[in-house]
Amino acid sequence: MGGVLVITGASRGIGAATAKLAGSRGWAVAVNYNASAEQAGQVVAAIGASGGKAVAIKADVSTAAGARLLFAETVRQLGPVTGLFNNAGIVHTYTAITDMTEDMLAEHWRINITSQFLCAGEAVRRMSTKSGGTGGAIVNMSSRAAVIGGANGMLAYGASKGAIDTFTHGLSIEAAPQGIRVNAVRPGLIATDIHDATGDKERLKKLVGLVPQGRVGTAEEVGETVLWLLSPQASYVTGSLVDIGGGR
């Protein structure tokens, strides 16, 4: 495996775990973050300590300026980009449909959807074989919530991930003639801090009983699937939505 991989939201959680795995397997990794500078630095240090190459790049990927900066800095510091993991995302406190505000909805669409469009645009522009690139692969972060629906508090989150499923399908068709594969992962309940943002610190404990495998997943388990999708071993896989939910 190898090449230059951009991971959005790699300071914490699934992005951080995937960055460390990627760094140990020959990828040079752009560890993007927005607020968590210290954690991003720790991810870069861990990759360096295991003999890999990584840089931390601060950018709000939900803005066009941030996405542009992230890719320009990656190319400047690591070389031409060959992979993108569109991972950054948020959840809000549980909110019923009757209480949703325009600002809350706009933030979901901006961080969970717009960021993936903007970063994919930057990646395709550089990787496309039609504009002199070598091709590459993109993995978008969806969620099982796209299918389950996010009822009772997470409707906006579920809908934002549903949009990513459609985006992944469409972009895979548009990018295939340009030498670029596009897939998405749909994790279920993964043990990271994101669940605390719902306002329910017991969320994972309450829901784990619904998982046929009887446990929550780890960030590394998601990372393994992402790296496979980015690898040459997945060379005929595009437009796929890969569920990582322990059967749920």
Nearer to ligand NAP, 128 or 167 (CB): 167
In the structure encoding, which two tokens stand for residue 244, read together?
Answer: 């990582």
DSSP track, the chain: --EEEEETT-SSHHHHHHHHHHHHTTEEEEEEESS-HHHHHHHHHHHHHTT-EEEEEE--TTSHHHHHHHHHHHHHHH-S--EEEE------S---GGG--HHHHHHHIIIIIIHHHHHHHHHHHHH-GGGT---EEEEEE--THHHH--TTT-HHHHHHHHHHHHHHHHHHHHHGGGTEEEEEEEE-SB-SGGGGGGT-TTHHHHHGGG-TTSS-B-HHHHHHHHHHHHSGGGTT--S-EEEESTT-
Choose between 60 and 180: whose C-beta lies nearer to ligand NAP.
Answer: 60
Does residue 190 contact residue 213 with C-beta atoms inside 8 Å? no
Our CB check for ligand NAP shows the closer of 52 and 66 to be: 66
Q: Which residues bind ligand NAP (CB under 6 A)?
A: 8-9, 11-15, 32-36, 60-62, 87-90, 111, 141, 143, 187, 189-190, 192-194
In angstroms, what is the minimal distance from the CB of 31 to ligand NAP? 9
- Minimum CB–partner distance for residue 69 and ligand NAP (Å): 11
Pick the closer one to ligand NAP by CB: 179 or 208: 208
State the minimum distance, in angstroms, from the CB of residue 228 to ligand NAP: 17
Shortest gap between Cβ of 66 and ligand NAP (angstroms)?
A: 7
Active site residue 157: yes
Q: How far is the CB of 157 from ligand NAP (least distance, A)?
A: 7
3-state secondary structure of 51: coil
Distance CA 177, CA 83 (A): 16
Q: Which of 33, 94, 157, 236 is catalytic?
A: 157
Cβ closest to ligand NAP, residue 40 vs residue 78: 40
Question: Catalytic residue numbers?
Answer: 157
